[in-house]
Chain A
């Protein structure tokens, strides 16, 4: 699924229950022109900037990292993390690429539950 069709589907799903998710109103809330958002939804123009994608994700209740990835972008905070230790993270990501989700989740730091 393309970036445009994904956000159009997500917006129209919400529009079915709530008229505030019309193209015009969503465009107004994320501070772009309706005509531009329409073109984005039809994949006639390149995906918008990171900041606009993050606003759009928030508006539609979608995951910003997912939308950025679909737009071929990476969030600036992640880019900064990689820039600080490029070799380490490049190696790590390559080694994780074929690992199943549940195994990757085990690498994530959990909040420790102790004795209370």
Chain B
């Protein structure tokens, strides 16, 4: 089952094991520049609010209602990362797609887990996902763009602007595998670780598009496919509303825009690098061929990303079990 608790999606499987619980949050962050550089990890700046789509009936687009799930607000060209948060430490296989395009293997959404290439992440060790896996150790950041303008991964791969949003399915490890792991006293992975109702047709749906390049690994599943209890998966559709329409839908103010990467770097605030010696997967060819938002903009003769100047990440804090840093979490406090 999936519940919504304080802007966290909580996947729990008491029928599998009392410990089988995974918290997923959507973190506000800087949009890294979409240029030729590869950047370290930007900070988490707090969680995006999440609301049940069912609670806002006629205020949301008609095609959102049959999907159920939850929704969050993003400004056009804002970035996010997905945090597989601190929980019980129970292992999960997690598959993430945007517009029903898998963010790890670049293929259209299919049910179930696959290897060769791996189409999911094993959590732990995977602590988070910031974007599309375009090469070994490199992702392109998730950046919100309006559906229908051709920027999103979905539109570039399928030619259609049908789904948008984010799709997540989580499968717990089989109880017997988990109990065997516990008996073998394997050290637990460390966790490092948001007026009047508008007519629904005025609310625009958003999708995610590939932005700037960032150093991030997607780790190989060392447990193997047989470890995952695919009979007990739970899935969720996360619709993305334009922040400009969030108040009209929910009556609540959306979060403010985060600072630009250049302003953040100038203030000497920390960036992060995550070190883990677990082997990692190759990038997906289909995702590597996508045009970034700036690349697609050039093709269209447009400049879709405001304030895209390069930034110099001065302070880079190491995180992760391979190289413990001074802070165990990927957060920055903005005054």
Q: Using known A-B contacts A20-B324, A61-B86, A110-B3, determine if residue A116 contacts B14 with beta carbons closer than 8 Å.
A: no
> Contact: B234 with A113, CB < 8 Å?
yes
Residue B69 contacts which of A18, A61, A109, A111 (CB distance < 8 angstroms)? A111
- Residues of chain B with a CB closer than 8 A to A108's CB: 1, 3
How far is B12's CA from A102's CA once the two chains are assembled, in angstroms? 11
CA distance A72 to B2 in the complex (A): 29
A112 CB to closest chain B CB, in angstroms? 3
The interface bits of chain A over 27-48 (1 if a CB of B lies within 8 angstroms of the residue's CB, else 0) are: 0000000000000000000000
| Distance, CA A112 to CA B53, complexed state (A) | 9
Structural contact, A113 and B2, CB atoms closer than 8 A: yes
- Closest A residue, CB atoms, query B324: A18
Interface code B1-24, partner A: CB below 8 Å = 1, 0 otherwise? Answer: 111100001001011001000000
Q: How large is the interface on B (under 10, 10 to 19, 20 to 34, 35 or more residues)?
A: 20 to 34
Contact A109 B4 (CB under 8 A): yes
For B153-177 the 0/1 string (1 means CB < 8 A from A) is 0000000000100010000000000
A114 B237 Cβ-Cβ under 8 A: yes
B190 in contact with A102 (CB, 8 Å): no
B236 contacts A111, C-beta separation under 8 Å: yes
Can you name the residue of chain B whose Cβ is closest to the Cβ of A102?
Answer: B14
Q: For residue A113, which residues in chain B have a CB less than 8 angstroms away from its CB?
A: 2, 68-69, 234-237
If A17-B187, A108-B3 touch, whether A114 touches B324 (CB-CB below 8 Å) is no
Give Cα A78 to B187, complex, Å: 34
Residues of A within 8 A of B234 (CB): 113
Whether B52 pairs with A111 at a CB distance below 8 angstroms is yes
A61-B234 Cα distance, complex, nearest whole Å: 24
| A80, CB-defined interface residue at 8 Å | no
A110 touches B67 (CB 8 A): no
Range of interface residues on chain A?
10 to 19
- Whether A110 and B66, one on each chain, are in contact in the complex, defined by CB atoms closer than 8 angstroms, is no
Chain A, 85-115, CB within 8 A of any chain B CB: 101-102, 105, 108-115
How many A-B residue pairs have C-beta atoms within 8 angstroms? Tell me: 60
A79 to B326 alpha-carbon distance, docked (Å): 35
Give chain A interface residues in 50-87, CB to chain B under 8 Å.
61
| Complex: A12 Cα to B324 Cα, angstroms | 17
Residue pair B1, A105 in contact (C-beta under 8 Å): yes
Contacts of B70 in A (CB 8 A): 111
> Closest residue to A19 on the B side, CB-wise?
B324
- Nearest B residue to A112 by beta-carbon distance? B68
Residues of A within 8 A of B163 (CB): 116
A112 contacts B54, CB within 8 Å?
yes
**B48 interfacial by beta-carbon distance below 8 Å:** no
Query: Taking the complex as formed, is B328 at the interface, i.e. its CB lies under 8 A from any CB of chain A?
Result: yes
Please, what's the 1-or-0 string for B41-84, where 1 marks a CB less than 8 Å from any CB in chain A? 00000000000111000000000011111100000000000000
Chain B residues near A110: list those with CB within 8 A: 1-3
B191 CB–A CB distance under 8 Å: yes
Q: Collect the chain A residues with CB atoms within 8 Å of residue B66's CB.
A: 114-116
Are A115 and B67 within 8 A (Cβ)?
yes
In the complex, which residues of chain A have a beta carbon less than 8 angstroms from the beta carbon of B53? 112
- Interchain residue pairs with CB less than 8 A apart (6): A20-B328, A101-B18, A102-B15, A111-B3, A113-B234, A114-B237
Cβ-closest 6 pairs across A and B: A114-B68, A112-B68, A111-B2, A116-B67, A114-B67, A115-B66
Q: A105-B1, A111-B69 are in contact. List 7 more A-B contacts (CB 8 A).
A: A111-B2, A112-B52, A112-B53, A113-B234, A114-B67, A114-B69, A116-B100
The residues of B with any CB-CB pair to A shorter than 8 Å are: 1-4, 9, 12, 14-15, 18, 52-54, 65-70, 86, 100, 163, 167, 187, 190-191, 234-237, 324, 326, 328
